[in-house]
Amino acid sequence: MAEILHLSTFLRRPIFDSDGDRIGRVQDLVARLGDDAHPPIVGAVIRIEGRNLFVPIRKIGGLSEGRMTFQGKRVDLRRFERRPGELLLAEDLLARHLINLVRGRLIIANEIELAENEGKWEVVGVDPGRRPFLRRVLGPKVGQRVKAESIVDFASIEPFVGHVPTARLRIPYRKLAKLHPAQIADLVEQASHEEGEEIIEAVGLDRELEADVFEELDITHQLEFLESRSDIDAARLLARMEPDNAADLINEIDQDRRLPILEQLPPAQQAKVRNLLSYNADTAGGMMNTDFVSVPATATVADALEAIRRSSAPAESLHAVFVLDENGLPLGAASVAPLVRARASELALSVARTQLTFVHPHWDLHRVARKMSDFNLTVLPVLDEEQGKMIGVITVDDLLEELLPQGWRREFGMTAVEE
């Protein structure tokens, strides 16, 4: 296994010429980002007589021996200028936030780890622990070498654009898209506003993912990132959110923006949101989602399963298919498992629970929670109080979201930057 060395042991180290005379001091090492999992080091920024100059790595010897030597005939005296795709390891990464794409968390790069591989120096990892910080404060004798298993592989790391002032560098959407929307939302909440903007911009390449991430953000961050958007852009985002989540967010937006944004929503989404806004947010009507799967009393099991396949309702609402009569009154609820086990030709109603448990839209949060808990339900129907028609469902995740205190992730350290 290649020996791993710390970036900090190279910084501010003197560099000598072939005669042994000191010619300058190392300010930084330069790596090139590209398709390599471990970016190659292409050179060093050397401070010589008050000027920062670039020296290619091929002209520097003794990196692993502790005495760096310039092996060229002469130094290029032009001032160092960063090229697109180049990363200054100390300036851009050290003590900065980085994204650990495997764990979906932010880490602080307290040390950058380097190794020589087939004659080439590479950036192999990041150490987010406290020991590197102590070494920077107390001096390099606090451990100069580390074992490979103690670091985070750089292949799973992504730097922020704001740390790297090079226009061609962007957080890659394809990497973020492998994370769950809740993990991406946690990244945004851990990060600074500028870093959070970069993440939102990256996921914005997929409008559906952007909406899913927005739904997972706490209300403070939702409002923070909507503030800079126009009413039209805000409406485009809310149009892709679930109606109940969109209604909750509109309720929190400054009053002078609510109606303009609401009027920009597509007619179908606007009607759903306006309906939900008529209920108090802490009631069953305020929590419910108006998108659910229903079939008529004559529907077979095959019809019910096909209705699930064709439905655009959120996955959490698809745990049950509701059988309605011709007036929209519920006759029963068929869970997915009994439907899958039954013969395709059977009536869906024959495998449905006909003693239906329900709530009314003006019931408070505690009555809803008691109903859902007592009957072990993941989807609870909401019936109109006057005619008994089914108007929506409450899913267990929406209930939990209401029961948990605002900012609970932060209070319990679940959005803390990892060490």
Is residue 268 one of the residues assigned to a domain?
A: no
Give the tens place of pLDDT for each residue, 112-128.
999 988 889 999 999 98
Above 80 in pLDDT, residue 170? no
> Which of 195, 217, 239 is where one domain is finished?
217
36 and 148 housed in the same domain: yes
Q: Within 13 A of 9's CA, how many CA atoms are on the CB side?
A: 21
340 and 205 housed in the same domain: no
Is residue 265 one of the residues assigned to a domain?
A: no
Is residue 261 one of the residues assigned to a domain?
A: no
Helix (H) or strand (E) holding 187: helix 181-190
What is the reported pLDDT for 299?
A: 97
Is residue 211 one of the residues assigned to a domain?
A: yes
CATH at 53: 2.30.30.240
**Residue 402 vs residue 325, higher pLDDT:** 325
Residue 115, beta-bridge partner list = 4, 122
What is the reported pLDDT for 46?
A: 93
Res. 417 pLDDT band, cuts 50 70 90: low
Three-state DSSP at 270 gives: helix
Report d(CA 29, CA 93) in Å as an integer.
Answer: 11
Is residue 124 one of the residues assigned to a domain?
A: yes
206 and 149 housed in the same domain: no
- How buried is residue 79: exposed, middle or buried, by Cβ count under 10 Å (0-12/13-18/19+)? exposed
What is the reported pLDDT for 370?
A: 94
Res. 141 pLDDT band, cuts 50 70 90: very low
Is residue 231 one of the residues assigned to a domain?
A: no
Give, as one character, the DSSP assignment of residue 351: G
Above 70 in pLDDT, residue 204? yes
306 and 342 housed in the same domain: yes
- Look at 147-156, 238-247, 347-356, 395-404 and tell me which has the smallest mean pLDDT: 147-156
17 and 117 housed in the same domain: yes
Three-state DSSP at 84 gives: coil
155 and 187 housed in the same domain: no
Are 350 and 339 a contacting pair, CB within 8 Å?
Answer: no
Mean pLDDT for 238-253 is 92
314-350 burial, b for 16+ CB within 10 Å, e for fewer?
A: bebbbbbbbbbeeeeebebbbbeebbeebeeeebbbe
Q: Which two tokens stand for residue 86?
A: 């180049």
CATH at 356: 3.10.580.10
Residue located via tokens 């910084």: 11
311 and 186 housed in the same domain: no
Is residue 232 one of the residues assigned to a domain?
A: no
Is residue 200 one of the residues assigned to a domain?
A: yes
147 and 184 housed in the same domain: no
344 and 375 housed in the same domain: yes
174 and 155 housed in the same domain: no
99-118 burial, b for 16+ CB within 10 Å, e for fewer?
A: bbbeebbbbbbbbbbbbbee
Mean pLDDT for 388-417 is 76
Above 70 in pLDDT, residue 131? no
Above 60 in pLDDT, residue 185? yes
Question: Which of 73-87, 139-153, 390-404 reaches the highest mean pLDDT?
Answer: 390-404
Report d(CA 231, CA 209) in Å as an integer.
Answer: 20
What is the reported pLDDT for 119?
A: 85
Above 90 in pLDDT, residue 26? yes
369 and 391 housed in the same domain: yes
What is the reported pLDDT for 71?
A: 86
Above 80 in pLDDT, residue 175? yes
Res. 142 pLDDT band, cuts 50 70 90: very low
**Dihedral angle over CA of 301, 306, 312, 314, nearest 10:** 40
Question: Which of 79-93, 339-353, 396-410 reaches the highest mean pLDDT?
Answer: 339-353
Give the tens place of pLDDT for each residue, 358-387.
999 999 999 999 999 999 999 999 999 888
Are 184 and 104 a contacting pair, CB within 8 Å?
Answer: yes
**Dihedral angle over CA of 219, 223, 225, 228, nearest 10:** 180
Domain hosting residue 373, numbered range: 294-403
What is the reported pLDDT for 126?
A: 92
The total domain count for the chain is 3
Above 80 in pLDDT, residue 134? no
Rounded to the nearest integer, the mean pLDDT of the chain is 87
